[in-house]
Structure formats: structure tokens, C-alpha cells
Amino acid sequence: MVGRLEFRMPLYDGGTARARLRETAWRGRELKSSVQTQQRAHSSESELVALQFHQLAREIGEETARLAALESRRESVQARQGQTIVSPLELANLQMQIGRTEARLIELQMEQEQVRGRALFLAEELTSVLRLNLGDDGC
């Protein structure tokens, strides 16, 4: 049995192989840096949206409590007004405060829904990047 092995390799290729390796390494570092930048941006935006949502939930709770207190106060003023002579201006002032509080509560709820929509949009962007399909098994 006779075999022959032939191996050809240029002794010098003018540095093109080394240049290609350097370019490939540079592109790899560039892509890795880009991915890390995108991850940091997504993470910070997600944290900001979560913080805004919790802040709005807290404000909605405060406004709801304030509205309940104002309505309770209005009921007591109305009860007193039926028994004694009280200034109707006080009742009108309370009604105006209740209206403002209700308007502020509606504004906060709308803003919270906008933030919720933004959070859902961020989650949808993430699922498209990760190529996740809703309803598919993860295994």
C-alpha cells in the first residue's frame, strides 16, 4: 500500500489572513458591544416604566382616599345643613374640590394605562428579538 499526502500552504500571503482575522475579531467585539448597549437601554427603560407605573398606582390610591374623605365631609355638611343654617358656599366649595379630585383621578388612571401600554410594547419588542411566540411551549 502506498499513500501520498500533499499539503500546500503559501509561505506568505501578504498579511491578508491576519487582516481578515483582525477584522472578524473587531466585528465580533463591535456586535457584542452593540448587544450590551441594547440590553442596558432596554433594562433601564423597563425599570423606568415599572417605576412610573408604581408611582401612578400610589398617586391613584392617595387620590381615591382623598375623594372618599371629601365625599364623607360633603355628606356631613349636607346633614348639618338640613338641621341648621349653614353657608351654601361651603357645600359648593366641597363639590368643586370633589370634581377636581375626580378629574385628577381620571387623569392618573389614563396616564397609568399609557404607561401600561408602553410596558406591553417593550415586552413585545423583547419577544420579537428573542423570537418567542405566545402560546408555544417553552420546552
The total number of structural domains that make up the chain: 1
Q: What confidence tens digit (pLDDT) does each residue in 39-75 have?
A: 898 889 999 999 999 999 999 999 999 999 999 999 8
CATH code of residue 74: 1.20.58
Sign of the CA dihedral running 12, 15, 18, 20: negative
Q: Are 72 and 97 in contact (CB under 8 A)?
A: no
Q: Is residue 93, in this structure, part of any structural domain at all? A: yes
Task: Please report the pLDDT score of residue 22 as a whole number.
Answer: 93
Q: Is residue 112, in this structure, part of any structural domain at all? A: yes
Task: Please report the pLDDT score of residue 10 as a whole number.
Answer: 67
Q: Is residue 101, in this structure, part of any structural domain at all? A: yes
Q: Is residue 7, in this structure, part of any structural domain at all? A: no
pLDDT at 82 over 80: no
Task: Please report the pLDDT score of residue 113 as a whole number.
Answer: 95
Q: Is residue 34, in this structure, part of any structural domain at all? A: no
Average pLDDT, the chain: 86
Neighbours of 49 (CB within 10 A): 19
Q: Is residue 131, in this structure, part of any structural domain at all? A: no
Q: Is residue 32, in this structure, part of any structural domain at all? A: no
Q: Are 108 and 59 in contact (CB under 8 A)?
A: yes
- Determine the structural domain holding residue 120 and report its residue range: 47-125
Q: Which amino acid is at 40?
A: R
> Grid coordinates standing for 35?
448587544
Mean pLDDT value across residues 94-123: 94
Q: Is residue 4, in this structure, part of any structural domain at all? A: no
Task: Please report the pLDDT score of residue 17 as a whole number.
Answer: 80
In this structure, the chain runs to a length of 139
